[in-house]
Amino acid sequence: MAGEIKVDMSNAAEMDYPEHEKTYGLFIALFKWGSVVIIALLIGMLVGLIMGSGVIASVLAFVVALAVGYYALR
């Protein structure tokens, strides 16, 4: 059987918790807003490509979806 392994942590740096929380907050914000942009892009593609409504309707649907996502998540 293997013996107990002891690790010397006396020289280890302490965690920088404020920086960790800041990075986590930025990651969550990037994930949230990135999801909104991707969903809006897919809605614009749906309107323009599948429904055959054209470029103007596609861009308008993209902008409207972005606005709805912004107001829903702020």
Domain extent, residue 46, equals: 34-74
Evaluate whether residue 53 is within a structural domain.
yes
Give burial (CB, 10 Å; 0-12/13-18/19+) of 58. buried
Evaluate whether residue 63 is within a structural domain.
yes
Evaluate whether residue 29 is within a structural domain.
no
| Mean pLDDT on 24-28 | 95
Neighbours of 57 (CB within 10 A): 14
Could you give the number of structural domains in the chain?
1
Above 80 in pLDDT, residue 70?
A: yes
**30/5: higher pLDDT:** 30
Above 70 in pLDDT, residue 2?
A: no
Evaluate whether residue 3 is within a structural domain.
no
> Phi and psi at residue 35, in whole multiples of 5°?
-65, -40
Mean pLDDT, rounded, of the chain: 89
Q: How far is CA 69 from CA 7, 60, 61, 73, in A?
A: 49, 14, 12, 6
Evaluate whether residue 10 is within a structural domain.
no
Above 70 in pLDDT, residue 20?
A: yes
- For 30-59, the pLDDT digits (tens) are 999 999 999 999 999 999 999 888 999 999
Evaluate whether residue 68 is within a structural domain.
yes
Evaluate whether residue 21 is within a structural domain.
no
Evaluate whether residue 28 is within a structural domain.
no
